[in-house]
């Protein structure tokens, strides 16, 4: 919704300035700057980039120099829905895990050989690759809603078992660690599911986004500045620490 609001206001600014007689390039630059100013509505670098680029990209797509037949837009929409099914819209878009983002995990979470790790929402397999670098002897598993992404990740990650499915309907009880790179809005649901299904001593690990209601057992920051939040069952809640 913040992105749609920013793009709509950028287009409104563009049309108003053109109506006032300003050159089209001036109106475009001003509208793009307005979109940039509205990045304060979102809280991650990826989302800010989407907000900034949304207006100029939509203008390019609607210009006469970018001619695409109607069937082309329909096929593009179908491809997006195929890769990113409607049931997954409440979860994170395709945000790959950086290769070295999880390299410090073993310093805080000791897992024996054969420990079962789930990458919940494994996408193209980047999270599994990073997990393998951290825990080369672990039993790595991926779960991905999109079947095209599941096929690609299976080709990239022959060392892991990757299934197509809904991370919220899957059973987490057999895992020693569940890793996620979702979004802030997904974390309360992840905490609830982890508490209901993960056994005592298991871990919930989240890249970038914290579970605000929990006290982390450890937090590390990668070279790109992204935090990795680690929570062990049973969780300790912020309210409990205050007591």
Determine the Cα–Cα distance for residues 243 and 232; give it in Å rounded to an integer.
20
Report the predicted TM-score, pTM, of the whole model to 2 decimal places. Answer: 0.68
The pLDDT mean for the chain works out to: 83
CA distance 183 to 199: 24
Q: Provide the pairing of β-strand 227-232 with 203-207.
A: antiparallel
Residue of 231, 222, 223, 227 lying closest to 208 (CA atoms): 227
- Tell me the H-state helices in the chain: 2-19, 24-37, 45-62, 70-83, 126-134, 147-156, 187-197, 238-242
pLDDT digits (tens, 9 = 90+) for 191-227: 999 999 999 999 999 999 999 999 999 999 877 778 9
Q: End-to-end distance of the chain based on CA atoms, in angstroms?
A: 37
Separation of alpha carbons 59 and 61, rounded Å: 5
Tell me what the mean pLDDT of segment 56-82 comes to: 61
pLDDT above 90 covers what percent of the chain?
A: 46
Instruction: Render pLDDT for 76-120 as a digit per residue (tens, 0 to 9).
Output: 565 555 555 555 555 555 678 988 899 999 999 999 889 999 999
Specify the residue for token string 């871990």: 203
Fold of 105-242: Rossmann fold (3.40.50)
In whole angstroms, what is the distance from residue 140 CA to residue 159 CA? 7
Judged by average pLDDT, the poorest of 69-73, 206-210, 225-229, 235-239 is 69-73
Domain boundaries, the chain: 2-67, 105-242
Q: Are 122 and 128 in contact (CB under 8 A)?
A: yes
Question: How many Å apart are CA 207 and CA 172, to the nearest integer?
Answer: 18
Q: Which residue has the higher pLDDT, 38 or 176?
A: 176
Using the structure block, give the residue that is written with the tokens 């920051």: 221
> Which range has highest mean pLDDT (27-41, 68-82, 159-173)?
159-173
């Amino acid at each position: 919704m913040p992105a749609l609001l920013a793009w709509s206001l950028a287009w409104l600014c563009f049309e108003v300035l053109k109506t006032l007689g300003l050159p089209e390039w001036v109106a475009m630059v001003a509208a793009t700057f307005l979109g940039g100013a509205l990045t304060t509505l979102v809280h991650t670098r990826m989302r800010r980039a989407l907000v900034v680029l949304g207006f100029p990209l939509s203008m390019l797509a609607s210009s006469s120099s970018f001619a695409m037949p109607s069937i082309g837009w329909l096929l593009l929409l179908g491809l997006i829905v195929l890769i990113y099914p409607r049931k997954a819209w409440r979860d994170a878009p395709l945000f790959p895990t950086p290769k070295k983002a999880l390299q410090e995990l073993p310093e805080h979470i000791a897992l024996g050989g054969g420990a079962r790790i789930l990458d919940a929402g494994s996408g193209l397999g980047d999270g599994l690759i990073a997990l393998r670098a951290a825990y080369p002897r672990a039993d790595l598993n991926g779960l991905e809603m999109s079947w095209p992404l599941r096929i690609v990740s299976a080709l990239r990650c022959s060392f892991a078992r990757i299934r197509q499915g809904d991370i919220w309907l899957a059973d987490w009880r057999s895992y020693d660690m569940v890793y996620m790179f979702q979004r802030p809005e997904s974390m309360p649901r992840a905490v609830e599911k982890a508490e209901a299904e993960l056994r005592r001593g298991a871990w919930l690990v989240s890249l970038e986004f914290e579970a605000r209601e929990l006290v982390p057992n450890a937090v590390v920051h990668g070279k790109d500045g992204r935090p990795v939040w680690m929570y062990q069952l049973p969780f300790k809640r912020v309210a409990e620490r205050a007591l």
